[in-house]
Structure 1
């Protein structure tokens, strides 16, 4: 399910050229499902799918049969997948999609994209949607 990509000296370990798929089809990257070379970008793609589902309560392929799910993941564009997400999230998706398995993601760029998704007047101590506030 996971392996070290950087050793204790900070050197990169080349990911395996072929791997066995173990995981959940819903959140797995297409590379992982097709047992292609995987790297940190594939972990990030799984994270992106999770964020989309947490935000929208669904992924386009959530109720699809496994074969259909794979075809849908291969065919969907970033614009379609992120259509209901805040616009900066598409930049994050496109960036992760552009990475090669041997590239380390620039987490600072992803962090900036996520920050731009937060509404302007939001304060860190604002209550969450599900928290009860006392109107006085």
Structure 2
């Protein structure tokens, strides 16, 4: 049985692995959450042994020549929203939503999206009382600038709404092939973040989503209208994208762009999964996942 092993030097200034392994324990049993098999110290390393997973969405995006079809993005969006909702239901925000942190599974789990890398995750409320963390400003940018929400650029404490906005940027990145604030040149990291922030704020949502269904504009308008401690209506957003999917006449068969490409390369015909209703949302009585963490690209 194959596993992934994540190592971190015990000498590292900002040790994250123990924190991350504790988070996986809190999230254990959720669909698309990898299983931590073991955590400990071995020689000069902190070690986490976790289920092996397949390629990341960034890997697959590159494999598909850096463009995903609307069908693929909508099938992914459904699962991405459910993964983020589940993390939020456990009182944490991820704070680094990006394509590299979503991995497809292996074998029977090949069509299941998994969420990984909780090194930057943060508790946004008390798990018992549900009292929300206070609103704060002057925070440094945590996460990846390309997908960071506007409020994160402005130094506002992150909450659930920011994970949601970041997910919107991920979807548009997949559809468009890139985001308008990519490839900006600057001398320092700070200046680069500043340029990304300016470009993001000066790009109207309608321009960002030009040529794509109105639902993406609605998604951003909704996320940006959320107040600091609002709970996002995940079901509303999933339904909006499912309705669009049906209106486009697509089949929910788990034939993603890479499924087709893989089979073209190997000269076989993709066998679609039996068309079915998308998986239930987090907390709707799902069985625990039996997933796997980064590394495999067996095409």
TM-score range, shorter chain: 0.7 to 0.9
| Deviation (angstroms), 1:113 | 2.1
Q: Partners of 2:128 and 2:175 in 1: how far apart?
A: 38
For structure 2, the residue ranges without an aligned partner over 5 or more in a row are 1-119, 186-191, 270-299
User: TM-score if structure 2 supplies the norm length?
Assistant: 0.42
Instruction: Check if 1:111 corresponds to 2:232.
Output: no
For structure 1, the residue ranges without an aligned partner over 5 or more in a row are none
Instruction: Check if 1:25 corresponds to 2:145.
Output: yes
Q: Which has the larger radius of gyration?
A: 2
Q: Partners of 1:15 and 1:45 in 2: how far apart?
A: 20
Contact 1:91-1:113 within 8 A present in 2 as well: no
Deviates more, 1:89-98 or 1:122-131: 122-131
| Deviation (angstroms), 1:116 | 3.1
Larger strand proportion of the pair: 2
SS at match of 1:26: helix
Q: Partners of 1:96 and 1:51 in 2: how far apart?
A: 14
Provide, for residues 53-79 of structure 1, a one-character-per-residue CA deviation record: whole Å limited to 9, x for no partner.
Answer: 012111011112323211111111111
In structure 2, the partner of 1:83 is 210
Q: Tell me how large the CA RMSD over aligned residues is.
A: 2.1
SS at match of 2:151: helix
In structure 2, the partner of 1:128 is 256
Contact 1:89-1:117 within 8 A present in 2 as well: no
The one of the two structures with greater contact order (alpha-carbon pairs below 8 A, sep at least 6) is: 2
User: TM-score if structure 1 supplies the norm length?
Assistant: 0.85
1:43 pairs, out of 150, 155, 163, with 163
Deviates more, 1:17-26 or 1:120-129: 120-129
Contact 2:206-2:217 within 8 A present in 1 as well: yes
